[in-house]
């Protein structure tokens, strides 16, 4: 059974959320702070909570609409949540075996909860005539009696016809008795009692603050467990103990101390193993549970022992610290899994997990770990609805999951699958997530070649096509060529991409100011082996740009074409200072001395001419240039890392 859609009304900041769809696996509610995301989750939680919680009209009804409450009668239900659920195929098959083919006109039913009339209201669409026909189908009655019974089209009429039989056969009496055992002798109530209530998923709410305490007094915990005042984080602690088959009372039995130590170790190991299946931030941690005496001058309730403390040991540094002193992200991760695992084992029904800002205290990469936990561990068995305002918690490949939550003036919180209805602040995580994805898919890949700028990209593309056309080796298409906007950024980009386990190579000018920093990255194994490629290797000059691969006359022709409207006359090779090693620097000096284009030479303009007029210009590229380009491409292609390696 799955939750299909929901609508929240008259609950705190929500006047009318509008109906919003819920995905069969994962739904992500995105909104800025104070938009009403938590309010929506808490309203949904009350549909069928795993822990008893009630609606409180005075507290929960929107304060500014207080006068409107008078529009409802004293016992009239004020709706808070109207939710639609859908039976799965197996459940539908059971219902049809019980009540007949076509018993339900729709596989969906509604559930409404609200104030005043606090009972849950269910709504099915069923075919009572088909149900009556199925119920009487196995009766073997005399023709006169059969005519009376078969004329009925409702269950009530069928029961009346059965009761009117003078000498009913055993099957007819059994059917009549069966119908009388239905609540109010009604199909709708029978469906609720027999299928909805036993099968409906339980809603589980877990927030950022529902984390396990690091230290507790066992007697205090027992008292508050018995009077029902435990917090959810403390319930998570009890879940952890339950996994170890340990009760709070066991801590008072001094003869079982050794057994307790072993059971607590086992329990900590079980959860730790699952945590570190998804937690990649630090795998050198383990969780330990210890029984301590009361400390001197301890404040209540920790002045009453024994005391149970949770500690986290860092194997790398050989030290342990109290659970409370670890990063809040790790504490949340561990607490949730402890609470959830025990709950999952105890509950026969499916669960709908409502996670409120689960990645709030997590680093961006750890939020990716959390998404892995949701997709691989939770969603295959249970529906998950979570809230966020972080781009790292939005899967840009699955934007169909996203529902925006916006608090609008005068109408309150609105939930929508239409991102166009969201304001810029609400849409920001979506745009950021898409930007991250675009960056990773358009500009970086498994094999990423960093180059300085867009002109380098054009020259590599054109030379690659020209080399292949002439029967030479071109640049392997597995390379994703990434212009990074200047030599000074090369080492930063190489570090960032190398940290993502990508195969990174760098193509640089011989005198790039960042060369030494990039070489250090190569020496530290953050680049591909031999992944620092200098242009001078292929030009025969000690100081060279990618433009120096071309014959000087060819490149000068590109410059003259690009600046034809501002040059008084085309530049000739004799006018350039050949004592300057790079042709680009020679032209820069020429522009500066003559004040051409305000003394500034734009490297991109000649490249733009080449790509725009390549059909005419490529045939003019010399054999020597193509040979140099081929050597460059062979060198780069040798650095390709095969898929999966």
pLDDT grade for 406, boundaries at 50, 70 and 90 = very high
Residue where a domain terminates, one of 171, 202, 233: 202
Token pair recorded at residue 478: 């597995």
pLDDT grade for 329, boundaries at 50, 70 and 90 = confident
| CA–CA dist 560, 606 (Å, integer) | 8
Identify which has the larger pLDDT, 208 or 294: 294
pLDDT grade for 340, boundaries at 50, 70 and 90 = confident
pLDDT grade for 442, boundaries at 50, 70 and 90 = very low
What local confidence, expressed as pLDDT, does residue 252 receive? 74
Q: How many C-beta atoms lie closer than 10 Å to residue 349's C-beta?
A: 15
Rounded average pLDDT over 130-138: 94
Identify which has the larger pLDDT, 162 or 490: 162
In a domain, 438, yes or no: no
What local confidence, expressed as pLDDT, does residue 433 receive? 65
Per-residue pLDDT at 440 exceeds 70: no
Phi, psi values for residue 86, rounded to 5°: -125, 130
Same domain, 514 and 611: yes
What local confidence, expressed as pLDDT, does residue 451 receive? 85
pLDDT grade for 299, boundaries at 50, 70 and 90 = very high
In a domain, 513, yes or no: yes
What local confidence, expressed as pLDDT, does residue 526 receive? 56
Identify which has the larger pLDDT, 53 or 209: 53
Token pair recorded at residue 305: 């022992």
In a domain, 400, yes or no: no
Residue where a domain terminates, one of 140, 172, 202: 202
Rounded average pLDDT over 225-244: 85
Rounded average pLDDT over 228-236: 88
**Position of tokens 């402890």?**
338
What local confidence, expressed as pLDDT, does residue 462 receive? 94
| Of 10-24, 264-278, 507-521, minimum mean pLDDT range | 507-521
Same domain, 76 and 191: yes
pTM of the model: 0.70
What local confidence, expressed as pLDDT, does residue 635 receive? 93
Q: Which residues contact 406 (CB under 8 A, 6 or more apart)?
A: 31, 35, 413, 414, 416, 421, 422, 423, 426
- 3-class SS at 3? strand
- 3-class SS at 336? helix
Same domain, 154 and 233: no
Same domain, 73 and 221: no
What local confidence, expressed as pLDDT, does residue 444 receive? 56
What local confidence, expressed as pLDDT, does residue 489 receive? 58
Same domain, 294 and 158: no
| CA–CA dist 558, 541 (Å, integer) | 21
In a domain, 218, yes or no: yes
| CA–CA dist 358, 356 (Å, integer) | 6
**Are residues 543 and 581 in contact, defined by beta-carbon separation less than 8 angstroms?**
yes
Per-residue pLDDT at 136 exceeds 80: yes
What local confidence, expressed as pLDDT, does residue 208 receive? 78
Across 189-193, 311-315, 489-493, the highest mean pLDDT is recorded for 189-193
In a domain, 389, yes or no: no
What local confidence, expressed as pLDDT, does residue 575 receive? 93
Render pLDDT for 609-631 as a digit per residue (tens, 0 to 9): 998 999 999 999 999 999 999 99
Our count of domains for the chain comes to: 3
Rounded average pLDDT over 479-506: 67
Per-residue pLDDT at 606 exceeds 80: yes
Identify which has the larger pLDDT, 7 or 210: 7
Percent of the chain with pLDDT over 90: 49
pLDDT grade for 62, boundaries at 50, 70 and 90 = very high
Per-residue pLDDT at 408 exceeds 90: no
User: In terms of residue numbers, what domain contains 244?
Assistant: 208-348
In a domain, 450, yes or no: yes
Same domain, 219 and 177: no
Same domain, 222 and 137: no
What local confidence, expressed as pLDDT, does residue 9 receive? 97
In a domain, 329, yes or no: yes
Work out the mean pLDDT of the chain and round it to a whole number.
86
Of 566, 589, 567, residue with least CA distance to 577? 589
Per-residue CA distances from 524 to 281, 438, 528, 635 (Å):
21, 29, 10, 21
**Are residues 140 and 172 in contact, defined by beta-carbon separation less than 8 angstroms?**
no
Percent of the chain with pLDDT over 70: 89
Per-residue pLDDT at 438 exceeds 60: no
Question: ∠ CA(301), CA(305), CA(306), 5° rounding?
Answer: 130
| CA–CA dist 119, 596 (Å, integer) | 84
Render pLDDT for 97-106 as a digit per residue (tens, 0 to 9): 999 999 999 9
Same domain, 591 and 465: yes
Bridge-based pairing of strands 202-206 and 121-126 is unpaired
Render pLDDT for 19-55 as a digit per residue (tens, 0 to 9): 999 999 999 999 988 899 999 999 999 999 998 898 9
Same domain, 166 and 249: no
Residue where a domain terminates, one of 348, 371, 387: 348
Identify which has the larger pLDDT, 364 or 51: 51
What local confidence, expressed as pLDDT, does residue 513 receive? 52
Same domain, 241 and 118: no
What local confidence, expressed as pLDDT, does residue 644 receive? 47
Identify which has the larger pLDDT, 125 or 581: 125
Same domain, 264 and 174: no
In a domain, 151, yes or no: yes
Same domain, 79 and 13: yes
């Amino acid at each position: 059974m799955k939750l299909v859609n929901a609508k929240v009304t008259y609950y705190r900041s929500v006047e009318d959320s509008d109906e919003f769809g819920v995905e069969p696996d994962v739904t992500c509610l995105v909104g800025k702070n104070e938009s009403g995301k938590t309010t929506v989750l808490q309203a949904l939680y009350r549909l069928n909570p795993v822990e008893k919680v009630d609606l409180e009209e005075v507290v929960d009804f929107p304060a500014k609409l207080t006068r409107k409450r008078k529009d409802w009668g004293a016992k009239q239900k004020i709706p808070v949540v109207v939710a639609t659920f859908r039976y799965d195929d197996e459940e539908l098959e059971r219902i049809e075996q019980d009540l007949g083919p076509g018993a339900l006109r729709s596989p969906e039913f509604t559930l409404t909860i609200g104030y005043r009339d606090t009972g849950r209201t269910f709504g099915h669409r069923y075919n009572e005539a088909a149900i009556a026909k199925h119920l009487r189908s196995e009766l073997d009655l005399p023709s006169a009696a059969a005519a009376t019974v078969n004329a009925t089209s409702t269950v009530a009429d069928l029961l009346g016809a059965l009761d009117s039989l003078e000498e009913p056969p055993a099957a007819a009496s059994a059917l009549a008795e069966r119908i009388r055992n239905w609540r109010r002798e009604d199909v709708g109530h029978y469906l609720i009692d027999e299928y909805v209530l036993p099968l409906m998923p339980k809603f589980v709410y877990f927030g950022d603050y529902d984390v396990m305490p690091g230290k507790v007094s066992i007697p205090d915990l027992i008292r508050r467990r018995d009077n029902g005042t435990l917090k959810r984080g403390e319930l998570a602690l009890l879940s952890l103990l339950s996994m170890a088959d340990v009760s709070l009372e066991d801590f008072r039995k001094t003869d079982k101390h050794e057994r307790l130590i072993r059971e607590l170790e086992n329990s900590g190991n079980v959860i730790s193993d699952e945590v570190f299946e998804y937690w990649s931030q630090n795998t050198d941690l383990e969780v330990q549970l210890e029984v301590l005496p009361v400390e001197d001058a301890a404040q209540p309730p920790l002045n009453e022992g024994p005391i149970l403390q949770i500690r986290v040991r860092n194997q790398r540094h050989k030290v342990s610290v109290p659970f409370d002193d670890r990063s809040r992200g790790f504490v949340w991760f561990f607490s949730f899994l402890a609470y959830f695992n025990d709950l999952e084992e105890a509950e026969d029904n499916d669960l709908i997990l409502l996670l409120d800002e689960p990645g709030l205290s997590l680093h961006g990469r750890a939020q990716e770990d959390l998404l892995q936990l949701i997709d691989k561990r939770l969603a295959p068995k249970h529906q998950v609805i979570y809230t966020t305002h972080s781009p790292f918690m939005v899967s840009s490949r699955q934007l169909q999951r996203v529902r925006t939550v916006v608090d609008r003036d005068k109408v309150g919180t609105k939930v929508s699958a239409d991102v166009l209805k969201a304001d810029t602040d609400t849409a920001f995580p979506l745009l950021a997530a898409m930007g991250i994805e675009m960056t990773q898919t358009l500009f970086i890949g498994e094999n990423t070649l960093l180059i300085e700028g867009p002109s380098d990209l054009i020259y590599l593309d054109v030379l690659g096509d020209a080399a292949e056309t002439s029967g030479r080796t071109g640049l392997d298409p597995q390379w994703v060529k990434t212009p990074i906007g200047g030599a000074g950024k090369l080492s930063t980009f190489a570090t960032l991409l190398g940290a993502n386990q990508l195969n990174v190579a760098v193509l640089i000018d011989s005198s790039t100011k960042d060369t030494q920093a990039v070489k250090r990255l190569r020496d530290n194994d953050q680049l591909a082996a031999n992944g620092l490629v200098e242009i001078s290797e292929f030009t025969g000059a000690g100081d060279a740009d990618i433009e120096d691969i071309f014959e000087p006359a060819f490149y000068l022709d590109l410059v003259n074409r690009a600046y034809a409207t501002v040059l008084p006359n085309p530049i000739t090779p004799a006018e350039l200072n050949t004592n300057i090693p790079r042709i680009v620097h020679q032209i820069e000096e020429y522009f500066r001395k003559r004040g051409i284009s305000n003394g500034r030479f734009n490297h991109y303009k000649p490249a733009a001419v080449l790509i725009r007029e390549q059909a005419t210009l490529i045939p003019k590229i010399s054999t020597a240039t193509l040979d140099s380009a081929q050597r460059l491409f062979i060198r780069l292609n040798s650095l390709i890392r095969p898929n999966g390696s």
